[in-house]
Structure 1
Amino acid sequence: MIAVATYYLSQHPSIVAFRWSHTQIWGSTWSFLVTSIALYLIISSFIHLFLCLLIRRGRPVSLGPIPALHSLVMSVVSAVIFAGILLSAAAEIKETRWFWRRYKTPFQWLLCFPLGTRPSGRVFFWSYIFYLYRFLHMFRTIFSIFKTRKLTFFYLFNNSILTIMSFLWLEFSQSFQVLAILFTTLIYAAVYGYRFWTAIGLRGVCFPFVLNCQILLLGCNVVCHIGVLMLHFMKGGCNGIGAWVLNSVLNGIILLLFLKFYVQSRRKNGNGKQTAVHGEIDKNNDL
């Protein structure tokens, strides 16, 4: 079973021969990215307006088992992407280490691609799958609108920017993306598995699980960004550093918005209702 999983996740010819191309890969053009983000914003806004006008204010709309099934699918897909890029990174390190072993350790390679790296091969195949996976994640916003009748700027901005960043990883062969995908899919697998667990009526944990996962993910990203910056200046440069700078700025904005969202939720519910605040963020945080 391990051999079969390794073959289909890292050794299959379609994975090994992958090459990011605007003419051969679906969804790889700037026009597709801009159009899809625009449609996401328009559809979300239209559904929000439609529900506010036609359905009594504050009354949630039941979607039945759809959100729970979505959480299950997201958890499984996250786990598959995590396993795929982990095995693929190990295979790439083993096969190409001769090219860069004088300058980098495997961990340094995960943080800092050598200059001239092209978006082809195993890890970029899984980076492409992760990029497509970001569109599946957008359904969370629709579910939130039906459930709470609210549409926040944070949800729209967060999903849009993360999708754009995933595109930039491929377009510019950006350093750090392997670790970013590993951390993100591992956290997503746990969070969406937990959401499925609670959606089917099973008891949740006694602490803010989703909030803690969000903080852990943000902390890992900050540490890795510092590592990329140090390697760039100490080891002769990292590939895609321009896209990385933009990525860092956007991550910083997301972090500030998240902290603002958390503080506002705490003030709204009162300092004496900490458990309720955590539960509110766990339910509504669009991780």
Structure 2
Amino acid sequence: MKLSAFLMYCLVNQPAIQNFTWIRNVTPASSFQFPLITEACYLCIIFFLSRVFRLRVPPAVLKPIAALYNTVILFLSFIMALGCTLSTISHAPDVHWMICLPPNTPPSGPVFFWAYIFYLSKILEFVDTLLILLSGSIQRLTLLHVSHHVVVINMCYVWLWTSQSLFPVVLVTNASVHVLMYAYYLLCALGVRPKWKRLVTTCQIAQFRASFGALALMLGYHVSGPGCSGVWGWILNFLFYAWLLFHFLSFREQAYKSKFEQK
């Protein structure tokens, strides 16, 4: 069997993927309460580990755990990006569909399967925060870090709930950036300090800027045609991306200003 055919079967045509349907209150983790309870537990863990217990794991123990975790997320991000790309290519009738899903599109099929996996993966990424807390580096636990993890779960839930337009493009872009980001984290956990940290930040900023352009294109399709599915959900996305872009631009300026001045 050719590699392309093997990948298409495993990531697109496998029956569980091909026949996937997201049904609220039926599909696991699909109730309104689930993301809210998950986020509340996440915030409680942060409070207790940062204010009450203050556990600290020795670097000799924590680094192998961090390396394993970063390897898992890196691989998962790559699979999600590849799976959603292949699913979109094989199921999208045209480029317009990738930007603007028809109104009342049901959340079913391979593309929505990967949206569901992406949604669940954001819960797994809470381990990022746990590793920070266990390392004792509380100063790295910023408002941006915590709020990003909390809001992104709601955003991904809305993707599924509203069959939101444009999510395949956002998913592939975000997962691809995460491949680069977690590759950097993995090398750091292995004791290697790559010189392309700034590249990670630049790619993240480019992702957010591109999202605004894609959103404008989707709104153009929505106004000039029969409409796009899940447009109201993009209100959350727009505010979220604008907030993230502002903070990432501020971070880049603060992080690299001194280096620039030294040259």
TM-score of the aligned structures, taking structure 1 as reference length: 0.82
* SS of aligned partner of 2:258: coil
* SS of aligned partner of 2:217: helix
CA 1:245/1:47 → structure 2, altered by over 3 Å: closer, same or farther?
same
**Residue 169 (structure 2) pairs with residue 183 (structure 1):** no
Partner residue in 1 for 2:152:
162
**Residue 220 (structure 2) pairs with residue 234 (structure 1):** no
- Taking the aligned partners of 2:53 and 2:144, their CA distance within structure 1 comes to 20
- Taking the aligned partners of 2:82 and 2:126, their CA distance within structure 1 comes to 23
Kept in 2: contact 1:172–1:240 (CA 8 A): yes
Kept in 2: contact 1:19–1:121 (CA 8 A): yes
- Taking the aligned partners of 1:211 and 1:16, their CA distance within structure 2 comes to 35
- Structure 1 unaligned residues grouped into runs of 5+: 98-105, 277-287
Report deviation, 1:89: 0.9
Report deviation, 1:273: 3.6
**Residue 261 (structure 2) pairs with residue 272 (structure 1):** no
Q: RMSD of the alignment, in Å? A: 2.2
Partner residue in 1 for 2:195:
205
CA 1:275/1:184 → structure 2, altered by over 3 Å: closer, same or farther?
farther
Partner residue in 2 for 1:137:
125
- The residue identity in structure 2 corresponding to 1:38 is A
Partner residue in 2 for 1:92:
91
Kept in 2: contact 1:113–1:238 (CA 8 A): yes
Partner residue in 1 for 2:51:
49
CA 1:65/1:241 → structure 2, altered by over 3 Å: closer, same or farther?
same
Kept in 1: contact 2:209–2:245 (CA 8 A): no
Kept in 2: contact 1:78–1:189 (CA 8 A): yes
- The residue identity in structure 1 corresponding to 2:24 is H
Report deviation, 1:199: 2.2
1:1-287, aligned counterparts within 5 Å?
A: 1-50=3-52, 61-62=58-59, 63-93=62-92, 97=93, 106-147=94-135, 148-150=137-139, 151-205=141-195, 208-263=198-253, 265-266=254-255, 271-274=257-260
Report deviation, 1:207: 5.6
CA 1:207/1:191 → structure 2, altered by over 3 Å: closer, same or farther?
closer
Kept in 1: contact 2:163–2:230 (CA 8 A): yes
Kept in 2: contact 1:17–1:121 (CA 8 A): yes
Report deviation, 1:145: 2.6
Report deviation, 1:262: 4.3
- Structure 2 unaligned residues grouped into runs of 5+: none
- Taking the aligned partners of 1:272 and 1:251, their CA distance within structure 2 comes to 27
Kept in 1: contact 2:123–2:153 (CA 8 A): yes
- Taking the aligned partners of 1:130 and 1:262, their CA distance within structure 2 comes to 27
* SS of aligned partner of 1:114: coil
- Taking the aligned partners of 2:76 and 2:196, their CA distance within structure 1 comes to 27
TM-score of the aligned structures, taking structure 2 as reference length: 0.89
Kept in 1: contact 2:19–2:108 (CA 8 A): yes
- Taking the aligned partners of 2:193 and 2:245, their CA distance within structure 1 comes to 30
